[in-house]
Amino acid sequence: MVTPAAPPDLAVRVGTVSLKNPVLSASGTFGYGLEFAPFYDISRLGAVIVKGLSLLPSPGNAPQRIVETAAGMLNAIGLQNIGVERFVAEVAPRLEEAGAVFVANIYGRTVDEYEAVARRLSDLPALAAIELNASCPNVKEGGILFGSSPHGLSGLTRRVRAATAKPLWVKLSPNVADIGSMARSAEDAGADAVSLINTIVGMAVDHKTRRPRLANVTGGLSGPAIKPVALRMVWEACRAVKIPVIGIGGIQTAEDALEFLLVGAAAVQVGTANFRNPNACVEIIDGIRDFLVREKISRLEEYRGGLLS
């Protein structure tokens, strides 16, 4: 009789944070996590990353805020969110109750505001990490202003680093000339990991009405269209820094996720795919497991970073 082989080990580490698998929900595409509980047990995810939180609630930009494109979407939500206080009081206890590992994505209009949000979240013992959104292209202040120069990014990272003892992941903008030097700035300023990419600035117009399709005129492109750009940037970042790199951009299938892991990503985030298929994240986890079984690989760590030249 053949004894069935033990299931492969999908566990990964992002610095000091241990995750049961490498699949995380990308901020802004998964609500506050609880919205997906009717579809599956959200504790199955490596981690849930919640919509970007600011100090005060924000209604975001005026509509129209989303446009579908040939291979993805453009959004200019403008960081609509319930504010950090409501998150701490109402959402975090429910995520904890659901057994989910959760990470808070944060955003501020000023460095002081970023610091205040990080400080407030530090009181949550169950929070696994803080992800600093230094890269939102859809707000006039903050975000991209800090995230588009190595100097701005390192100043912001240093201040938030000093404000919290939580693991700090810095999310990078792809709208820069040299992603490697941005990743290095975050690392030098004390980031525990970098995550990339955020959306690529794009635009859509209506040739009949002669108007922009988004009220904000420009928006962030996400989805399968950006995957090759994201993969290249993740590969470059992995070669530029020693801290873990989390890969994001156009991941829809287990094969997509495996490609990012192969070039060295410690974990991946799934964003726009959640809109098309609410089960995308768990299907990707199952697909990674099936691949490892077929290839007779007992630990994901044996495969990760193994790109041949």
Ligand X SMILES: Cc1cc2nc3c(=O)[nH]c(=O)nc-3n(C[C@H](O)[C@H](O)[C@H](O)COP(=O)(O)O)c2cc1C
Query: What stretches of 65-140 adopt beta strand conformation (E)?
Result: 66-69, 72-75, 102-106, 127-133
**If binding is defined by CB under 6 A, does position 272 make contact with ligand X?**
yes
**If binding is defined by CB under 6 A, does position 222 make contact with ligand X?**
yes
**Residue 10 CA, distance from chain mean position:** 19
Residue 281 phi/psi, 5-degree rounding, is: -60, -45
How many other β-carbons are positioned within 10 Å of the β-carbon of residue 108?
A: 26
**If binding is defined by CB under 6 A, does position 219 make contact with ligand X?**
no
How many other β-carbons are positioned within 10 Å of the β-carbon of residue 306?
A: 12
Q: Which of 226, 243, 258, 280 binds ligand X (CB under 6 A)?
A: 226
Given the structure tokens 């009081």, which residue do they identify? 89
**If binding is defined by CB under 6 A, does position 154 make contact with ligand X?**
no
**Residue 92 CA, distance from chain mean position:** 18
Nearer to ligand X, 148 or 199 (CB): 199
Which among 212, 203, 230 is positioned nearest to 74, based on CA atoms? Answer: 203
Q: Which of 47, 55, 77, 100 binds ligand X (CB under 6 A)?
A: 77
Q: Which of 17, 19, 21, 29 binds ligand X (CB under 6 A)?
A: 29
Given a contact cutoff of 8 angstroms between Cβ atoms, the answer to whether 220 and 189 are in contact is no
In the complex, least distance from residue 114 CB atom to ligand X, rounded to whole angstroms: 13
- Is 136 one of the catalytic residues? yes
Q: Which of 8, 108, 147, 223 binds ligand X (CB under 6 A)?
A: 223
In the complex, least distance from residue 248 CB atom to ligand X, rounded to whole angstroms: 5
Q: Which of residues 86-105 bind ligand X (CB under 6 A)?
A: 105
Give dist(CA 32, CA 56) in Å, integer: 16
Residue from 136, 153, 191, 270 carrying the catalytic annotation:
136
**If binding is defined by CB under 6 A, does position 27 make contact with ligand X?**
yes
Enzyme catalytic residues: 136
**Binding positions for ligand X, rule: CB under 6 A:** 26-29, 51-52, 75, 77, 79, 105, 133, 136, 171, 198-199, 222-223, 226, 248-251, 270-273
